[in-house]
């Protein structure tokens, strides 16, 4: 917390020497050892640590892969097979990195839904939340660029479709969108030139991501952690030191997560990918059914929901622009959530109406994910349009309106009371 | 002579130097940024507008071929009389592009059976189906983009789906009766 002063005492002369010159041990001790943590955190709060692990794991395995990968349209596809078959432990590095991307997104989606459920975006955590939205955008950009690198059919056509999104700007100013797309490609179509620059940026962005993550943690440690009650820490008995209490819980959560991670990496390394990406990129043939990786499916469904008309409203030549705006808007709307939610109560535990809408929203996201994996015709388009509408209604109508009309349940007086109940137990805990 | 107070309130020589210095620094930094942006645009080898000559003699009526031009697929279809007729029956006010979208404006005079198009869906850049015999050709007998469901007719015009424009006609000319040069 902002008022937290580390109790760090350097024990050795070496420690004192450093503490007077660069108090980094004091900073670490204050941030991760004696930092006051709400005593009632549940396992959903272990995902922050899991995400830090995922980022480090992706960077380490990625650096190794870059030592063996060749970012050229001629050699890229074969160099991936070379890594998987010939490089010592290359199969392991490649599987950890490819599966790691999916695990990273599983963890980040749990983390985001936890934040939405417990109102972790509300004052004074707005900046913390917005930094999180920036992290999500950077993660998506990095994952997208990385998916290009194997140079298979899905890589090639995924890049073609997604970079072409910018050509929608031609509707606003003729030539603007095409100019941007050709600038991104470095040519008149996706080519080896594109692959080369995407490799460069794929290597860069994780370090930008790390920088924003440090700001995210800084903002977290300034505002303090939220908790399942949504109440602030008001007294010493509301919190425990981060180490060993929160750290040991974090480790249990992380091991559970790592079991799933290892299961995929060792036994189902290609399960989350697409078979078409084992066909080398061919600029003359589009695969019959293009789908992005699973973690982009809900957004892809929103993009495709805007066909010639949307729920009966004709869109004409603006269909493409609206689809693109809706897709980016579906992520950007998250940045406004701190002000869209008008309720004074943080946690959905005490919000009887909002709680149901939260679960309806979670279902909407899963439904959009399913529809994103289906072909864009017939009844799928209609359902994608309905769920796209529901997605935006949740943020733009349900959030502001429910906050005003809902009567929240009675809040406990403190975190301690919520954990131990009222009466003597509290008094004992305080001593 | 200016009073003491004026020295602090009025713009003097020092203010001018600071402003001019900063302005030069800003313009300099911006000019230095430009090469870093511009280096990403298509390079000289990509811009070199290679033109391609194609012999159309082996393409029989009803057949289609795909050739590569500037890294992009170009569709060339030898249309049947029925396909041309269906393309010309459409009322133009129903099409994006209005009168420009008339079938007559999308082919060369005297070679109305030959339709030459950049084979890239104007929605998000996939290659539409419809070149091979067994392909789905969409509801209008032309091309169908499997990615997001755009249907093109036998003149390559968008008739149904999210694509904003008709398929583009590349610059080309007939060198002889059976040979074209694209580009």
State the pLDDT at residue A221: 94
CA atoms within 13 A on the CB side of A3: 4
Question: Which residue would you say has higher pLDDT here, B45 or A364?
Answer: A364
Residue in B72, B123, B162 closest to A188 by CB: B72
Nearest CA-CA partner of A129 in A339, A354, A407:
A339
CB-CB contact of A244 with A421 (8 Å): no
Question: Which residue would you say has higher pLDDT here, A270 or B4?
Answer: A270
Mind telling me how many Å the CA of B18 is from chain A's nearest CA?
34
Residue A200: pLDDT above 70? yes
Mean pLDDT of A196-215: 98
Residue A70: pLDDT above 70? yes
Mind telling me how many Å the CA of A145 is from chain B's nearest CA?
16
Mind telling me how many Å the CA of B74 is from chain A's nearest CA?
10
The lowest-confidence range among A54-68, A123-137, A298-312, A405-419 is A298-312
**Chain B positions in Cβ-Cβ contact with residue A317 (cut-off 8 Å):** 96, 164-165
CB-CB contact of A76 with A198 (8 Å): no
Residue in A184, A191, A286 closest to B146 by CB: A286
Radius of gyration, alpha carbons of chain A = 24
Chain B residues touching chain A at CB-CB below 8 Å: 37, 40-43, 46, 66, 68, 70-73, 96, 123-127, 129, 146-149, 160-165
State the pLDDT at residue A1: 44
* Tens digit of each residue's pLDDT (9 = 90 or more) over A135-163: 999 999 999 999 999 999 999 999 998 89
Residue in A161, A183, A197 closest to B124 by CB: A161
State the pLDDT at residue B3: 53
With cut-offs at 50, 70 and 90, classify the pLDDT of residue A431: very low
- Cα angle vertex A167, ends A161, A172, to 5°? 150
Q: Which of B35, B39, B47, B124 to mutate to test the interface with A (most CBs of A within 10 A)?
A: B124
The lowest-confidence range among A46-50, A72-76, A335-339, B33-37 is B33-37
- B41·A186 Cβ contact <8 A: yes
CA distance B103 to B157: 9
CA distance B126 to A304: 14
Mean pLDDT of A28-46: 94
State the pLDDT at residue A416: 92
Mean pLDDT of A167-182: 88
With cut-offs at 50, 70 and 90, classify the pLDDT of residue A428: low
Question: Which residue would you say has higher pLDDT here, A330 or A428?
Answer: A330
Clarify whether B148 is annotated catalytic. Answer: yes
Helix runs in A118-246, H state only: 126-148, 153-164, 176-185, 192-223
Nearest CA-CA partner of A293 in A131, A98, A151:
A98
Mind telling me how many Å the CA of B144 is from chain A's nearest CA?
11
Chain A residues touching chain B at CB-CB below 8 Å: 157, 160-165, 167-168, 170-171, 182-189, 191, 193, 197, 283-286, 288-290, 304, 306-308, 316-321, 323, 375-377, 381
Catalytic residue among B4, B123, B148, B151: B148
CB-CB contact of B163 with B121 (8 Å): yes
Please tell me what DSSP assigns to residue A431.
-
The lowest-confidence range among A59-63, A327-331, B158-162 is B158-162
ipTM: 0.72
Average pLDDT, chain A: 92
Question: Token digits for A56?
Answer: 């480090």
The 10 Å Cβ neighbour count of residue B144 is 21
**Chain B positions in Cβ-Cβ contact with residue A183 (cut-off 8 Å):** 37, 40-41
Residue in A197, A289, A321 closest to B146 by CB: A289
Mean pLDDT of A332-339: 97
Tell me the CA end-to-end span of chain B in Å, nearest whole number: 72
State the pLDDT at residue A375: 83
**Below-70 pLDDT ranges, chain B:** 1-9, 49-50, 97-98
CA distance A273 to A292: 9
- B71·A188 Cβ contact <8 A: yes
Quote the longest CA-to-CA distance of chain B: 94
Distances in Å between the Cα of A201 and the Cα atoms of A32, A62, A331, B34 are 32, 13, 21, 19
CA atoms within 13 A on the CB side of A223: 20
Highest mean pLDDT among A46-50, A173-177, B44-48: A46-50
The lowest-confidence range among A194-208, A348-362, B39-53 is B39-53
Strand partners, B129: B144
């Amino acid at each position: 917390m902002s008022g937290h002063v580390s109790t760090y005492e350097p024990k050795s002369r070496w420690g004192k020497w450093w503490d007077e010159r660069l108090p980094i041990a004091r900073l670490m001790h204050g941030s991760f050892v004696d930092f006051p943590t709400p005593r009632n955190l549940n396992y959903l709060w272990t995902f922050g640590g899991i995400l830090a692990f995922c980022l480090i794991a992706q960077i380490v395995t990625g650096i190794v892969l870059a030592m063996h990968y060749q970012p050229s349209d001629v050699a890229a596809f074969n160099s991936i097979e070379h890594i998987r078959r010939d490089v010592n432990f290359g199969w392991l590095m490649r599987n950890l990195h490819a599966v790691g991307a999916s695990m990273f997104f599983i963890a980040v989606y749990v983390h985001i839904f936890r934040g939405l459920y417990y109102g972790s975006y509300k004052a004074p955590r707005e900046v913390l939340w917005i930094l999180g939205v920036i992290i999500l955008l950077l993660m998506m950009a990095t994952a997208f660029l990385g998916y290009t690198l194997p140079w298979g059919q899905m890589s090639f056509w995924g890049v073609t479709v997604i970079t072409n999104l910018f050509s929608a700007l031609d509707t606003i100013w003729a030539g603007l969108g095409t100019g941007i797309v050709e600038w991104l490609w470095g040519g008149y179509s996706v080519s080896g030139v594109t692959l080369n620059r995407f490799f460069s940026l794929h290597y860069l962005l994780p370090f930008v991501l790390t920088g924003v993550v440090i700001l995210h943690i800084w903002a977290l440690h300034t505002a303090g952690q939220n908790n399942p009650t949504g109440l602030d820490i008001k007294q010493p008995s509301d919190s425990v030191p981060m180490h060993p209490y929160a750290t040991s819980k974090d480790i249990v959560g992380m091991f559970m997560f790592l079991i799933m991670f290892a299961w995929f990496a060792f036994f189902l390394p290609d399960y989350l990918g697409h078979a078409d990406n084992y066909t080398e990129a061919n600029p003359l043939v589009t695969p019959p059914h293009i789908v992005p990786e699973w973690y982009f499916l809900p957004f892809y469904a929103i993009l495709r929901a805007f066909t010639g008309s949307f729920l009966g409203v004709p869109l004409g030549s603006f269909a493409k622009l609206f689809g693109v705006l809706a897709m980016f808007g579906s992520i950007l709307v998250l940045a406004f959530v701190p002000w869209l939610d008008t309720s004074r109560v943080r946690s959905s535990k005490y919000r009887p109406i909002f709680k149901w809408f939260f679960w309806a929203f979670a279902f909407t996201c899963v439904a959009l994910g399913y529809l994103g994996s289906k072909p864009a015709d017939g009844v799928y388009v209609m359902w994608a349009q309905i769920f796209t509408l529901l997605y935006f209604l949740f943020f733009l109508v349900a959030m502001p309106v429910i906050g005003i009309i809902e009567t929240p349940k009675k809040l406990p007086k403190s975190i301690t009371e919520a954990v131990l109940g009222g009466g003597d137990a509290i008094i004992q805990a305080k001593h | 002579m200016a009073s003491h107070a004026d020295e602090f309130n009025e713009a003097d020589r020092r203010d001018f130097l600071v402003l001019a210095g900063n302005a030069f620094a800003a313009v300099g930094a911006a000019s230095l940024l430009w090469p870093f942006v511009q280096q990403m645009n298509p390079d000289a080898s990509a811009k070199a507008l290679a033109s391609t000559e194609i012999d159309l003699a082996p393409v029989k009526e009803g057949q289609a071929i795909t050739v590569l031009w500037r890294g992009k697929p170009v569709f060339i279809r030898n249309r049947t009389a029925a396909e041309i007729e269906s393309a010309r029956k459409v009322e133009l006010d129903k099409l994006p592009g209005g009168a420009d979208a008339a079938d007559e404006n999308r082919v060369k005079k005297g070679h109305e059976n030959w339709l030459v198009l950049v084979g890239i869906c104007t929605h998000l850049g996939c290659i539409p189906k419809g070149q091979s015999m067994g392909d789905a050709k969409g509801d209008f007998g032309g091309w169908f983009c499997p990615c997001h469901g755009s249907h093109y007719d036998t003149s390559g015009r968008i008739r149904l789906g999210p694509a904003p424009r008709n398929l583009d006609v590349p610059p080309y000319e007939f060198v002889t009766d059976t040979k074209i040069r694209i580009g």
